[in-house]
Amino acid sequence: MRVVSKVALFLVSLSLIQPAFAEDDPKKDAIHARQSQMELQAFSAGPLFAMAKGDMPYDAAMAKRMAENLKLLDEIDIGSAWMKGTSNMEYPDDTRALPKIWAEDSKVRELGKEYGKAVEELVTAAGNGREALSEKVKAVGKACKNCHDDYRKKDE
């Protein structure tokens, strides 16, 4: 019973302090959410790219786990984090997302689907050797680059 009480107290205290971490601006919260997802994707993709390039020893179990992490991250529905009015035009100090993401002729959804397909194929191949990993990791990198080239402000 003491453990249950401690857990309940911990959860209640978390619910009370959480608003202190939230932005007053829901659009900044949205920007932060999507950037956080991208950071987690980069964290999982990093070892995969390093293994594919030979900069890190190939580890089948790790490769499979990191690829599965990418798949899980891709399956998270954070569409609400991509609300209009959250581009670098409105928030130049907070994001590099270009306004054309939200244009009617935007191809960002199609590019997202290409990324998802590349990740699915990577999950299948990741544990099957460095050569198989290398081939599929290139497709993931290309899918990331395609979106970033057109919809993210270039580094200065």
DSSP bridge pairs for 97: 152
Residues 28-78 pLDDT 10s: 999 999 999 999 999 999 999 999 999 999 999 999 999 999 999 999 999
CA gap 61, 59 in Å, rounded = 6
Number of DSSP helices (H) and strands (E) in the chain, helices first:
5, 0
Q: Give the closest residue to 68 by CA, choosing from 141, 120, 8.
A: 120
Q: Does the reported pTM lie above 0.85?
A: no
User: CATH for 23-151, among 3.40.50.1000, 1.20.120.10, 3.30.70.360, 1.10.287.3510?
Assistant: 1.20.120.10
